Amino acid sequence: MNVNAALRTADAVDTPEPDSAAGSSQTVRAQVRLRELIVGGELQPGVRIPELSLVERLGVSRTPVRAALLRLQEEGLLELLPGGGFAVREFSETDIYDAIEVRGTLEGLAARLAAERGAPAVVLAEAKDCLDHIDELLAHATFGDEAIAAYTLHNGRFHQLLAALSGSDVIVRQIERAISLPFASPNVVGGAGVRARDSFVIAQGQHRAVIEAIEQREGARAEGVMREHARIARDNLRVAMASHQGLQALPGQALIRRSPRRAANRR
């Protein structure tokens, strides 16, 4: 993949390219809005989704609504009911941790391929620029909501660029699919203030380490760093799920099926 193609691949993670079929833009808008309803808890797990009410609610015709439902089923947010139609999936804690493990595995593969195949210098430079911005944020002793928001912006972009560095459209698509589940995102924050900052400092060290490994063409090392990096997301998720406040702030928390023991402990 050449430099321009790599950059287009990275940008495509942010904005899905429209299909050639007519009405694809409506499908994308319906998909985005429907995902927001699901993650926000406005559509409850296990309950059949009424297509006709979605047509009115989303302001599009039935065809893009059906297409959006199929895409979200492919992402794993919906399940097909035996009698027809779709319902929002419910996820166990094991499902969530497995989703993060899948993301870590795919990002490890992306990093290894980037190291083995050689990464475009311009994309590496953009990834380093993201890390420079994160360094500036972490240089401050205080770390409030505004700093966390800025961190998630640059961190999310870094992970998109890392996928593009692989030079593989297949890997980019699979990583995009893996992080479409809200709790598998690399931007899960566990705690706030000093705790959040400490977690980000560790993650930032791994960011720098994987870029160094890619530049030095150390594929195995690059892969290992990103596999270990996913552990931070799992740890952050455990912290978030351990408190009522953290759980309420977690995107998609309405989809999580709590174990009976944990639920009892939280009352």
Beta bridge partners, 92, equal: 257
- 18-57: per-residue pLDDT in tens? 444 445 788 888 988 898 888 778 888 888 999 999 999 9
Nearest to 252 by CA among 128, 72, 90, 9: 90
Question: In 95-237, at which residue ranges do the beta strands (DSSP E only) sit?
Answer: none
pLDDT score at 216: 97
Q: What is the CATH number of domain 15-89?
A: 1.10.10.10
pLDDT score at 211: 98
pLDDT score at 248: 60
pLDDT score at 14: 43
Question: What is the Cα Rg of the chain in Å?
Answer: 19
- 2-13: per-residue pLDDT in tens? 444 454 445 544
Which are the contacts of 42, defined by CB distance < 8 A and separation ≥ 6? none
pLDDT score at 184: 80
User: Domain locations in the chain?
Assistant: 15-89, 92-266
Question: In 109-246, at which residue ranges do the beta strands (DSSP E only) sit?
Answer: none
Alpha helices in 216-252 (DSSP H): 219-241, 244-249
Mode of pairing for the β-strands spanning 91-92 and 256-257: parallel
Calculate the dihedral angle through the C-alpha atoms of 245, 250, 256, 262, rounding to the nearest 10 degrees.
-30
pLDDT score at 260: 53
- 192-212: per-residue pLDDT in tens? 556 678 888 999 999 999 999
Which segments of the chain have a pLDDT < 50? 2-5, 7-9, 12-22, 261-267
What is the pTM for the complete model shown? 0.71
pLDDT score at 247: 58
Q: What is the CATH number of domain 92-266?
A: 1.20.120.530
Beta bridge partners, 91, equal: 256
pLDDT score at 12: 46
d(CA 133, CA 84): 48
